[in-house]
Copies of this chain bind each other. A is one copy, B any other.
Amino acid sequence: MPDREEPNARGLFGGVFARGGVDADDTAWLQAMLDTEAGLARALERAGLAPAGAGDAVTAAARAANFDPNELGGLAALTGNPVPGLARALARRVPQTAVSAVHRGATSQDIVDTAAMLLAKRAIGVMQADLVRVADAAAGLAAAHRATIMIGRTLLQQAVPVTFGLVAAGWLTSVDEARAGLDTVGPRLAVQFGGAAGTLASLGESGQRVATLLAEELGLAVPVLPWHTDRLRILDLGAALARVAAALGKIARDVTLLAQSEVGEVSEGAHQRGADQPGADQRGADQQAPAASPRRGGSSAMPHKRNPVASIAILGCSRQVPGLLATLTMATEQELQRAAGAWHAEWEPLTALLRLTGSASSWAADLLPGLVVDTSRMAANLAATKGLPLAEHVSSLLAGVLGGAQAHDLVAEAGARAVSAGLPLRDVLLSVPKLEERLSAAGITAEQIDSALEPSGYLGAADAFVASALDAHEALEVHHG
């Protein structure tokens, strides 16, 4: 008989793939199915279709700890799903007077689908709490680093300057988009209640009324129709979760790249790597190996190594998402009044999506608040190409005097010389006789060149964009109240 397990009882890979507060394991499924059966009993009682007290009696019995998932799983082999076994077992645990309120009017799919909606609703609540921490941290970085200049990198090559504030603003915007998507999916989480073939025939005239009461009891929406074989809301849920994974996966990829030994512009925070501030996940470790506990991401044999564990874990989660979403999408083609296989094929990928996006959110809520930013490495990396990222700016300065074509050619020549000689662009422009003469002739001063080579002068709308992202974030916060 499983009781609600302690937070970390999630198995060998759960530390990576099932972190944080989202529950989508067998016990959570079992409880959600029982909650559905209990809600149905209460709804039936309210509709006058079950005796007074039946709702409470069923609710009292409907505790996961009273049932054995393994036994129910064995019975599921007879019918293809665990509900018939569960309904019988539940009926055996309620007083005789309440038996008629158990599972009345429902088909197995009503229970499984509604339970999935309950799991999703709960998971989304947990994720939203994590994601607000992620977004706030990103907003904090964006605000703090509006003036922190670094090199922008396109196609993994240094390009032109940006600010780290703008990078963080990009993270913020996508996380806020993901949060808004979770908001939107909420009203799509609807009760499933249609009976054997979607007519609720066994409830006679009372079907729609019971469905509405059931939705009320469970805090879910009322659908236009039973949706046994209209799976768009499953797809909506999958897509909303995939958006979370997409936003977090992009951040994690950026962190792994910026944290490379040769780049070194960010690293996962020290407070995240030691035994000094053990969160729930580390507790076991500490008790087990007080002395030899590794710092997170560290390797005593390779003391220079600071593995970005949180980012890697996020990527390990997010990269499983596309395939799972494909399975859900494929499974939308469901036959007639109940699908032979396609419905069944949804359960595991939906569970995995909830768990993995929940885990990624939890990791991200750890990652971003603790991110260490090395502004000196940013400055050094920007300087390493000796002015070349500003060539475009110099070119536009000269264009006003020389015309675009000449300006372009002159700077291109200077740039090529600078690359081949390993010299700063400034030195080439001001020291190579032929070039320097043309600049002088055009009335361009060394001060003007220096000014054009100053990265802070070539940031365009970067700061305005950061402001926009922060404004949008604030508006979302207000909306969330």
CA distance A178 to B322 in the complex (A): 21
A71→B15 CA distance, assembly (Å): 9
| C-alpha spacing A288/B338, complex, angstroms | 28
Q: Mark A319-347, 1 if CB is under 8 A from B, else 0.
A: 11111111101111111111111111101
- Which one of A181, A260, A312 has the greatest number of beta carbons of chain B within 10 Å? A312
Q: Does A4 contact B (CB under 8 A)?
A: no
Could you give, for residues 131-175 of chain A, a 1 whenever the CB lies within 8 Å of some chain B CB and a 0 otherwise?
A: 000000000000000000001111111111110001101100110
A interface, size bucket = 35 or more
| 5 CB < 8 A contacts A-B | A8-B70, A12-B29, A74-B283, A242-B329, A315-B345
In the complex, the answer to whether A198 meets B465 with C-beta atoms within 8 Å is yes
Q: A159-B337, A301-B395, A388-B303 are in contact. Are A309 and B196 (CB under 8 A)?
A: no
CA distance A396 to B104 in the complex (A): 11
On whether the beta carbons of A344 and B315 are closer than 8 Å, the reply is: yes
> Are B312 and A322 neighbours in the complex by a CB distance under 8 Å?
no
Instruction: Answer yes or no: A391 CB below 8 A from chain B CBs.
Output: yes
Say yes or no: is A313 at the interface (Cβ < 8 Å to chain B): yes
* Cα separation A284 to B70 with both chains bound (whole Å): 9
Contact status A250-B229, CB under 8 Å: yes
Task: Give the chain B neighbours of A389 by CB distance below 8 A.
Answer: 302, 304
Asked if A52 is at the interface (CB within 8 A of a chain B CB), the reply is: no
* A239, CB-defined interface residue at 8 Å: yes
- Counting chain B CB atoms within 10 Å of each CB, the highest count among A296, A396, A460 belongs to A460
Which of A40-48, A76-84, A116-124, A442-450 touches B? A76-84
**Cβ contact of A72, chosen from B12, B174, B200, B345, cutoff 8 A:** B12
Residue of B nearest to A339 (CB): B155
User: Contact mask A197-234 → B, CB, 8 Å, 1/0?
Assistant: 11111111101100000000000000011110111110
Judge if A392 is at the interface, Cβ distance under 8 Å.
yes
Q: Fill in one digit per residue for A103-130: 1 if any B CB lies within 8 Å of its CB, else 0.
A: 0000100000000000000000000000
A379 at the A/B interface (Cβ < 8 Å)? no
Are B301 and A392 in contact (CB-based, < 8 A)? yes
List A86-102 residues whose CB lies under 8 Å from chain B.
Answer: 88-89, 100
Q: Is A285 an interface residue (CB 8 A)?
A: yes
A60 CB within 8 Å of chain B? no
Q: How far is the CA of A305 from the CA of B157 in the complex (A)?
A: 6
Q: A174-B230, A235-B242, A282-B74 are in contact. Are A393 and B80 (CB under 8 A)?
A: no
Known: A12-B26, A304-B415, A315-B333. 16 other contacts (CB 8 A): A13-B26, A70-B284, A77-B282, A161-B197, A173-B227, A196-B301, A196-B392, A207-B460, A207-B461, A208-B468, A239-B239, A261-B385, A315-B342, A317-B345, A320-B327, A320-B349
Q: Does A271 contact B (CB under 8 A)?
A: no
Mark A59-81 against chain B: 1 for CB-CB distance below 8 A, else 0: 00000000001111111111111
User: Which residue from B15, B26, B281, B385 sits with its C-beta under 8 Å from A11?
Assistant: B26
A292 at the interface (CB under 8 A from B): yes
How far apart are the CA atoms of A233 and B174 in the complex, in Å? 10
A461 and B340 contacting across the interface, CB-CB below 8 Å? no
Contacting pair B303 A412 (CB below 8 A): yes
Q: Which of B82, B198, B205, B233 contacts A170 (CB 8 A)?
A: B198
Provide the residues of chain B in CB contact with A306, threshold 8 Å.
Answer: 157
Instruction: Please tell me if the beta carbons of B381 and A262 are within 8 angstroms of each other in the complex.
Output: yes
Q: Is the CB of B337 within 8 A of A74?
A: no
Given the complex, which residues of B lie within 8 Å of A342, measured CB to CB?
315, 319
Given A207-B464, A344-B315, verify A158-B320 contact (CB < 8 Å): no
Interface residue from B315, B322, B461 paired with A200 (Cβ < 8 Å)? B461
Say yes or no: is A30 at the interface (Cβ < 8 Å to chain B): yes
Cα separation A260 to B257 with both chains bound (whole Å): 10
List B contacts of A162 (CB < 8 A).
197-199, 337
Asked whether, in the complex, the Cβ of B311 is within 8 Å of the Cβ of A340, the reply is yes
Q: Are B460 and A300 in contact (CB under 8 A)?
A: no
Q: Contact at B76–A16, with CB atoms within 8 Å?
A: yes
Residues of B within 8 A of A246 (CB): 231-232, 235, 329, 332-333
